[in-house]
């Protein structure tokens, strides 16, 4: 591991000021950053420890609930406000990692997880995300876990978070602070598709600090479901995941939200599928149409073609379970 300086701060303003230097990283739980530092992928000159900043609150606000960026994943998943008003988020958090990691990982850190692509984490292989311009070894390599939606010739890596898939479906808003003041970023705009710059993963500006995630009031507490398909039932990243949420009145879908994980460089919100669902009857035919619409633009590679059909079936199953009702 490359030697680095360490600074512990107590206030957001101090953290932001410290991060104006190049090659500075914020550290909270460190469950992803420290691994990447040990592997030589992240090589900061300085770490700014933000764990003493008071950003762990989970509280109601006028139009929903605010989750502080330093709230632990386990605390968030089990908080009464989240379990009763946003069970989809609770389900997604509890599907991720292990209890030990959830006890350390923060909500803000979860937003910034980097891909688990084999070639990104192997510094002997070319990777445009790690070293821009070097190429994407995954395209011609072993790409079973890789993306089928929103890819580019420069990167086919997937975003690894479970939490972020639920936040995409719930239309969360990310609050950040920086040298130029405070701003909010709609969740749909927070993560980026790879395009020509896969190394730029979020809409954060250099030195900006995530302070909170806001969840708007939601009509989906009664009918939502997070389905995670993985190679083993514990401590594994999603091959495909689906966060689905429905509001049903008099046997008709009034409002729908759906996002996928494990299939793209960012949590994949399916606006077209949501439009098909609204006004329709909640049945298998409707759900199958939504699945087809979601995967219409999929591009499979030699080892991950199975993901297309798996994603369709997962969408139908998640929507079916959501229709039956959420236990809260």
Contact by Cβ (8 Å): 264, 159: yes
CB 190, CB 163: distance < 8 Å: no
Show the CA angle centred on residue 27, arms to residues 166 and 204, nearest 5°. Answer: 55
CATH 2.60.120.200 for domain 224-324, yes or no, is no
Q: What is the largest CA-CA distance in the chain?
A: 62
Q: What is the pLDDT of residue 63?
A: 97
Give the C-alpha distances (Å, rounded to integers) separating 323 from 138, 240, 269, 271.
37, 20, 19, 19
DSSP string, 154-219: TB------SHHHHHHHTT-EEEEEETTEEEEEEHHHHB---TT-TT--BSPPTT-EEEEEEEE--S
Contact 310, 229 (CB under 8 A): yes
Q: Is the pLDDT of residue 327 over 60?
A: no
Q: What angle do CA 258, 77, 314 make, to 5 degrees?
A: 30
Ranges for all domains in the chain classified under CATH 3.30.390.50: 224-324
Neighbours of 167 (CB within 10 A): 28
Is residue 328 scored above 70 in pLDDT?
A: no
Report the alpha-carbon distance of residue 177 to residue 270 in Å, rounded: 29
Q: What is the pLDDT of residues 27-84, one digit of tens each?
A: 999 999 999 999 999 999 999 999 999 999 999 999 999 999 999 999 999 999 999 9
Which percentage of the chain shows pLDDT scores above 90? 97
DSSP letters of 271-324? Answer: HHHHHHHTTS-SSHHHHHHHHHHHHTT----TTTTHHHHHHHHHHHHHHHHHHH
Residues of the chain with CATH 3.30.43: 1-48
pTM: 0.97
Separation between Cα atoms, residue 143 and residue 156, nearest integer Å:
8
SS3 52: coil
pLDDT value, residue 194: 98
Q: Which CATH class is domain 1-48?
A: alpha beta
């Amino acid at each position: 591991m490359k030697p680095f300086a360490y600074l512990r701060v107590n206030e957001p303003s101090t953290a932001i000021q410290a991060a104006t230097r190049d090659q500075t990283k914020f550290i909270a739980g460190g469950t992803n950053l420290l691994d990447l530092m040990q592997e030589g992928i992240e090589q900061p000159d300085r770490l700014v420890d933000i764990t003493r900043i008071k950003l762990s609150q989970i509280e109601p606000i006028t139009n929903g609930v605010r989750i502080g960026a330093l709230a632990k994943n386990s605390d968030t998943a089990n908080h009464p406000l989240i379990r009763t008003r946003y069970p989809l988020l609770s389900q997604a958090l509890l599907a991720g990692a292990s209890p030990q990691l959830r006890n350390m990982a923060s909500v803000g850190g979860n937003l910034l997880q980097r891909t688990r692509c084999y070639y990104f984490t192997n510094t002997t292989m070319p990777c445009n995300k790690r070293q821009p311009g070097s190429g994407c070894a995954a395209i011609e390599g072993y790409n079973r876990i890789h993306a089928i939606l929103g890819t580019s010739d420069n990167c086919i890596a997937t975003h690894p978070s479970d939490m972020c898939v639920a936040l995409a479906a719930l239309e969360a808003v990310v609050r950040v602070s920086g040298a130029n003041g405070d701003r909010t970023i709609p969740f749909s705009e927070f993560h980026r598709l790879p395009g020509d710059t896969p190394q730029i993963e979020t809409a954060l500006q250099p030195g900006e600090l995530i302070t909170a995630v806001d969840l708007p009031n939601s009509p989906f507490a009664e009918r939502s479901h997070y389905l995670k398909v993985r190679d083993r039932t514990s401590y594994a990243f999603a091959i495909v995941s689906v966060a689905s949420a429905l509001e049903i009145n008099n046997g008709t879908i009034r409002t729908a939200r759906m996002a996928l994980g494990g299939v793209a460089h960012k949590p994949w919100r399916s606006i077209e599928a949501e439009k098909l669902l609204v006004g329709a009857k909640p049945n298998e035919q409707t759900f199958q149409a939504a699945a087809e619409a979601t995967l219409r633009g999929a591009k499979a590679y030699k080892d991950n073609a199975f993901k297309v059909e798996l994603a369709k079936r997962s969408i139908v199953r998640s929507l079916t379970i959501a229709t039956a009702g959420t236990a809260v």
